[in-house]
Structure 1
Amino acid sequence: MAGAPPAGQRSEDHFSRARLVFPDGTSRVSVERDSVPRYIERGAGSYLFDVDGRRFLDLNGNFTTLIHGHAFAPVVEALTHQLQRGSCFANPTESEIELAELLCGRIPQVDRVRFVNTGTEAILFAIKAARAFTGRAKIAKLEGAYHGAYDWGEVSLVATPENWGDASAPNPTAVYYGMPASVLDEVVVLRFNDIEGVRHLLSLHAHKLAAVVLDPMPSRGGLVAPKPEFIAAIQETARSNDILVIADEVLNLRQSFRGASPLYGLVPDLITMGKIIGGGLPIGAIGGRKDVMRVFDASAGRPRLPQGGTFSANPLSMKAGLVAMRHLDEEAFAHLDMLGNIVRGGINQAISRRGAPLSVTGAASLFRIHPMAKIPNDYREAYPGPAATTLMKQLTRFFAENGIILPNGAAASISTPMTRAEAELIVDVFAGFLDSHQDMLGAIGSQIA
């Protein structure tokens, strides 16, 4: 596998066709390319097979969604059975009740649930629910944290040193050309793990804030654990000012049987979920306190917040999600934790033995490699310069050449079909990169350390 080109001939042929029908040859901005995307023919367990017949250990998992890997047999069986009975209806089905019962029974603070189709929709309606409940319009969010493609959730997603402003009061920055200035005016930007900063900024804007949106461990922000004092500062300030706390666990719900919030002492009013709860199919969910979720209640007429969706709670997503979540028992999470510890521990050892200017963060089945010797504390510290960006591209390419798909600058994820052998392979390939790129690491070490 070593020395294989980034993409094979059939991928190049597919990309040539795609450029005739898509604006940049791809159907979503998150598709990675080097310089051509790798087109996939099929997946099986923890592996992907591209159209050129090559096999790759998949550490992307469709952006951390596929916690059971590809073509998980129980999900395939459930979907086959459901497809023979219909794919979607205007009426409700028992399967949506069953998945809702599982989530309400498992995830703390989830008294009631509404299903949508994506994590973006979950955040969109959670923010709207907070506005409907409080009568306020503004939100606060973390700099660099990803909350889907909703304007208010996107503010300061791609802030740079040129525009992110003062450390104590970050500028709200646009993510796309033409974003209304009014959106920027309605978002207070916070720095992750900035205890005094969140107390000050939340208090300063309290009378206009409906909610603070918080990813317990932002992937794009560095996949760094929150300080207990930071979580306490957000909760105490929010509670004293009647600001709702929204935990975005679309990605991080995979950290434990009960999600991420309990691990860090976070007690949210609303929780957004997605990815793993759909068993590989499109899904999103908003859960939370019974009184807050009542804004969706249409039993007495028009609700404070109408929420629909042609494919919301469709039986395919409900069935797939129910089966997938039932198989995510305590034993499955213990297995994922074990593999995650092997990978992060092995990468740390490889770095330490060689004195490489790199570090690794993450928890449970998630990890992220950083092109800097010191573990970053937040998005600004994790922001890579030109030399660091070049190094990470080389790392991603080296992994691909050795049969592993490693996300570039994002969270890598482990799936339940993986074994100790695959975890050790990840560590061995990383160590091989350090050994084969000593000159490059030495030359740019002073720039990225």
Structure 2
Amino acid sequence: MSTNIDRNTASTGRSNAGSAELFRRGQRVITGGNARLSVFQRPHPIYITNGTGVNIVDADGNTYLDFLNNFTALIHGHSFRPVLDRLHHQLELGISFSGPTKLEVEFAELLCRRVPYFDQIRFMNSGTEAVMYTIKAARALTGKLKIAKLEGAFHGGYDPLEVSLDSAPANWGPRLAPNAVPYCAGIPEWHTTDTVVLPFNELIATRQILEGNKDKLAAVIIDVLPQRAGLVPIDRSYLAFLREFTARHGIVLISDEVMSFRLSYRGAINRFGFEADLCAFAKIIGGGLPIGAVGGMPQFMLAFDPTNGKPLVPQSGTFSANPMSMAAGIAALEALSEQSFQRLDDLGEYACSSLTEMFRQERLPYSVTGMGSMFRIHLRHEAPKDYREAYAAPEQQEKMGMLIRALQEKGVIVSPTCQLCLSTPMLTDHIDEMVTSVREAARMVEAREPRRAS
């Protein structure tokens, strides 16, 4: 398959004066110069002005091939016409109201049809918010406080789930009995007591840890493809054990599909063949607008039900289920058929195999992990199996930063962990161009030793 890729492919001489000036201005009025840590970089981020399809353009007019897609949220890429048309129509009707709309009913019906296990939905405004409410619901329903999570897994900016998000060799403890390590200053000490950390895919050790906490656990939260833990798929026998153990002991099993909902037409739950008690999802269902949602069966969603008085977990929000996000989400999902996901799977397999073969030919000490339309490059010969193997020491972080900056200079955008994701307008030509850029960037990085921190 071939296509004309209309973009600036120059690998050198990109001016960043416009972004540098915006960063200078931003530092005066925004702490750190921009509003998201995830996009901050030194000496300054690139500031984006517009995007179309697979491309984004920065403040200096440089065009980039976008393999980040706003951290996996834009499954249709940029300026997707069905979403734009739906938003333009809704703008004329109203942006938000102090009352429910027909759109939220229609969108919930669409989601429940798509994922048979979803009987009911509640809408929020972000993935963090959705995950937070699943935890609150689990605690309210069980009357217990402890939660268990996988070591290194990211579940948004909620204190209990930031425990052991980026633990390091100096503090992470034994491999089969990980320490609970606070992520940052200000996380209360009790979270390291109430959050139980599980060794990913280590069934016997996980069983022992859960057995010791089963009477106090409200929930076990999982991500079947945890990005920060290496983008390594969960082992199906490990998953089956977690499902059986939680059901037997009255512990709520939560599936965080904020990212992994894009793994199939019916979400990660369907692809991995299991049913969680509650599911938190976001990103692709918003069509590019802010959104979050919780789905599940009535006995678990009951925690949010206000029809018989004050609910166990009051959940509201000025912009929850706002008509703009509902309209964009409906348009985005209606355009995602089962064939769309199969095509993304095929393209993802092509990307991973192409990168792997290129690394072999170039004798580069790199590897690839991932599934479906998401994959990640690691600076190690053997693909990691868990968070600890995926962990990057300071020297590796510096080297990865060099690789990411070199890719940016060549016109390819990836995440700060070198994760990439696909969008529906992408073609094999775009994959080939990305692989070529990775080859050239890696050659540059390998040709010089990383600068040591002073």
Distance 1:34 1:351 in 2: 27
2:29 is the alignment partner of 1:3: no
Deviation (angstroms), 1:262: 2.3
Deviations, residues 228-284 of structure 1 (Å, cap 9, x unaligned): 221122112212211111000000100110111222233211000100000000000
Quote the offset at 1:343 in angstroms: 0.9
Q: Which ranges of structure 1 fall in alignment gaps of 5 or more residues?
A: 445-449
Per-residue Cα deviation, 1:194-244 (whole angstroms, up to 9, x for no partner): 111211111110101011010110011100111122112211221221111
**3-state SS, counterpart of residue 368 of structure 1:** strand
Q: Offset at 1:33?
A: 1.7
State the alpha-carbon separation in 2 of the partners of residues 238 and 170 from structure 1.
20
Is the CA contact 2:402–2:445 (under 8 Å) kept in the aligned structure 1? no
Shift of 1:369: 0.1
Matched, 1:369 2:377: yes
Instruction: Output the CA distance in 2 between the equivalents of 1:29 and 1:439.
Output: 30
Match of 1:332 in 2: 340
CA distance in 2, matches of 1:87, 1:355: 54
Deviation for aligned residue 1:387: 2.8
Q: Does the 8 Å CA contact 1:220/1:410 hold for their aligned counterparts?
A: no
Counterpart CA distance in 2 for 1:9 and 1:335 is 39
SS at match of 2:11: coil
Alignment of 1:263-282 (within 5 A): 263-282=271-290
| Structure 1 residue 436, shift from structure 2 partner | 4.1
1:290 is the counterpart of 2:264: no
Q: More displaced, 111-120 or 402-411?
A: 402-411
Q: Decide which of 414, 419, 423 is 1:415's aligned counterpart.
A: 423
Tell me the SS of whatever aligns to 2:219. Answer: strand
Q: In the alignment, which of 111, 118, 122 is matched to residue 119 of structure 2?
A: 111
Q: Is the Cα contact below 8 Å between 2:228 and 2:387 reproduced in 1?
A: yes
| CA distance, structure 2, for counterparts of residue 120 and residue 277 of structure 1 | 15
Q: 2:177 aligned with 1:152, yes or no? A: no
SS at 1:113 equivalent: strand
Deviation of 1:93 (Å): 0.9
Deviations 1:25-73 (A, max 9, x none): 1212111323111011101111000010010011111111000011111
Match of 2:7 in 1: none
TM-score by length of 1: 0.95
Counterpart for residue 246 of structure 1? 254
Q: Which residue of 2 aligns with 1:388?
A: 396
Q: Counterpart in 1 of 2:318?
A: 310
Report the residue type matching 1:376 in the other structure. P
The alignment partner of 2:447 has SS state of: helix
* 1:388 CA drift (Å): 1.7
Which AA in structure 2 matches 1:110?
F
> Alignment partner of 1:84: what SS?
helix
Residue type of the partner of 1:332?
Answer: S
Give the letter for the 2:384 counterpart.
P
Partner amino acid, structure 2, of 1:3: T
> Aligned-pair distance for 1:115?
0.3
- Aligned counterparts of 1:74 and 1:273: Cα–Cα separation in 2: 22
Distance 2:367 2:294 in 1: 34
Determine helix, strand or coil for the equivalent of 2:29. Answer: coil
The one-letter code of the counterpart of 2:387 is Y
Q: Does 1:261 align with 2:264?
A: no
Q: Once the two structures are superposed, what CA deviation does each residue of 1:291-324 show, in whole Å capped at 9, x if it has no partner?
A: 1111111111111111111110000000000000
Question: Are the aligned partners of 1:395 and 1:433 in contact in 2 as well (CA < 8 Å)?
Answer: yes
SS at match of 1:20: helix
**Is the Cα contact below 8 Å between 2:399 and 2:445 reproduced in 1?**
no
The equivalent position to 1:197 in structure 2, one of 205, 224, 228, is 205
The residue correspondences of 1:27-426 to structure 2 (distance < 5 A) are 27-426=35-434
Contact map agreement 1:123 1:153 (CA 8 A) in 2: no
The gaps in structure 2 that reach 5 residues or longer are 1-9
Tell me which amino acid in the other structure corresponds to 1:339.
L
By how many angstroms is 1:438 displaced?
Answer: 4.4
Structure 1 range deviating more: 422-431 or 386-395: 386-395
Q: Which secondary structure state, in structure 2, belongs to the residue aligned with residue 207 of structure 1?
A: coil
How far is 1:435 from its partner? 3.9
2:230 partner letter: G
Structure 1 residues 67-113: Cα deviation after superposition (integer angstroms, max 9, x where no partner): 00111111111111111111111111111011111111112421110
- For residues 137-165 of structure 1, the C-alpha deviation after alignment (integer angstroms, 9 at most, x for no partner) is 11001111111111111111121111111
SS in 1 for 2:85: helix
Structure 2 CA distance, aligned partners of 1:265 and 1:321?
Answer: 25
Structural RMSD (CA) = 1.4
Give the aligned residue type for 1:205.
Answer: N
Tell me the amino acid that sits aligned with residue 4 of structure 1.
G
The residue aligned with 2:437 is 429
Q: In 2, distance between residues paired with 1:127 and 1:432? A: 45
Relative to the length of structure 2, the TM-score reads 0.94
The percent identity for this pair of structures is: 43
